[in-house]
Amino acid sequence: MVRARQAGLSQILAVGTTHLDSQACLERARREPMVVAAVGLHPTHLAGLPEDAFGQVEALALDARVVAIGETGMDNYWKEVPLEVQEASLLRHLELSRRLNKPVILHCRDAGDRLMTILRDNCDRHGTLRGILHSFCGTADEAKQALELGLHLSFSGMITQKGNQPLLDIASSIRRDRLLVETDSPYLAPRPQRGKRNEPAFVVHTCAALAECHGLSLREMAQITTNNARRLLGLESAI
Ligand SMILES: [Zn+2]
């Protein structure tokens, strides 16, 4: 927390991956004024959960310190959970997000087509989505579709890695009112810290890379992404 504050961060979103982890994120958010929570069941963590795991998430989601639902989404990389099971869970999270009017946090790995089809269908039935396609690493077409559906795109340390020009090119084309930055910690530490356990303070490097590709200063991009996050998550206004 001290290092995050020293790095200039004002708020941290702790994102749950299971019912127990979501509970821990909420407890942290209750203890630390700087932290708010998201609660959900990660698509790769769905195997072996108790039957009422989603019910527990639903109960946690009512708390005022919970500002988003997730992470949920689709993952065809690890192949531990059948895609049909992931899809059913995603639909429950989308319904909860709409019912409580809290944005949804979406994970996508090697499942862009399937995720976009589900989201578009959901959008056609129920209206524009409010949420985040997190740690974005998809194609330009997926980025375009996500924006059309109403989503924000969040970039992680991947845009700081050498050889990731295609992703930087996509990042540079995203409208500024839909840009966010994140750590995805403990994974994906940005380049100067690569190999270390990622932590909130390191998001500054990701923000700097995003600023550079948009031709802005770090301070300007920090302001933009902070305001976007606060608007989307319903947090207190401007820094
Ligand atoms: Zn994820």
CATH number for the domain that contains residue 186: 3.20.20.140
Examine the pLDDT at 129 and tell me if it is beyond 70: yes
Give residue 76 CA to ligand 1 midpoint distance, Å. Answer: 12
Residue 19 placed within a domain? no
Residue 198 placed within a domain? yes
* Surrounding residues of ion ligand 1, Cβ less than 5 A: 107
Q: 201: pLDDT confidence band, cut at 50, 70 and 90?
A: confident
Examine the pLDDT at 8 and tell me if it is beyond 60: yes
SS3 108: strand
The two beta strands, 152-155 and 35-39, are unpaired
Residue 161 pLDDT: 86
Give residue 184 CA to ligand 1 midpoint distance, Å. Answer: 7
Give residue 43 CA to ligand 1 midpoint distance, Å. Answer: 9
Q: How many whole angstroms separate alpha carbon 97 and alpha carbon 127?
A: 13
How many domains is the chain built from?
Answer: 1
Which residues, listed in sequence order, are joined to residue 131 by a DSSP beta bridge? Answer: 104
Give residue 111 CA to ligand 1 midpoint distance, Å. Answer: 12
Q: What is the pLDDT of residues 154-195, one digit of tens each?
A: 999 999 988 889 999 999 999 999 999 999 888 787 887 778
Residue 77 placed within a domain? no
Sequence-ordered list of residues with C-beta below 8 angstroms from that of 78, at least 6 positions apart, any chain: 44, 109
Residue 106 placed within a domain? no
Q: At 191, list the tokens.
A: 């380049």
pTM of model > 0.85: yes
Strand boundaries in 60-117, DSSP class E: 66-75, 104-109
**What is the mean predicted confidence (pLDDT) over 86-104?**
98
Residue 192 pLDDT: 79
167: left (phi over 0), alpha (psi -120 to 50) or beta: alpha
Residue 186 pLDDT: 82
Residue 156 placed within a domain? yes
Residue 2 pLDDT: 83
Long-range contacts: 207-211, Cβ < 8 Å, 24+?
207/181, 209/159, 209/160, 209/168, 210/155, 210/159, 210/171, 210/179, 210/181
Residue 8 placed within a domain? no
Residue 102 pLDDT: 98
Give residue 200 CA to ligand 1 midpoint distance, Å. Answer: 16
Q: How many whole angstroms separate alpha carbon 23 and alpha carbon 40?
A: 10
Q: How many whole angstroms separate alpha carbon 135 and alpha carbon 109?
A: 10
Give residue 42 CA to ligand 1 midpoint distance, Å. Answer: 8
Average model confidence (pLDDT) for the chain? 94
Give residue 151 CA to ligand 1 midpoint distance, Å. Answer: 15
**What is the mean predicted confidence (pLDDT) over 53-71?**
97
Do 143 and 170 contact (CB within 8 A), yes or no?
Answer: yes
Examine the pLDDT at 27 and tell me if it is beyond 50: yes
Residue 234 placed within a domain? yes
Give residue 74 CA to ligand 1 midpoint distance, Å. Answer: 9
Give residue 17 CA to ligand 1 midpoint distance, Å. Answer: 9
Residue 11 placed within a domain? no
Give residue 106 CA to ligand 1 midpoint distance, Å. Answer: 7
Residue 204 pLDDT: 92
The two beta strands, 35-39 and 66-75, are parallel
Q: Which domain holds residue 178?
A: 130-239
Give residue 196 CA to ligand 1 midpoint distance, Å. Answer: 18
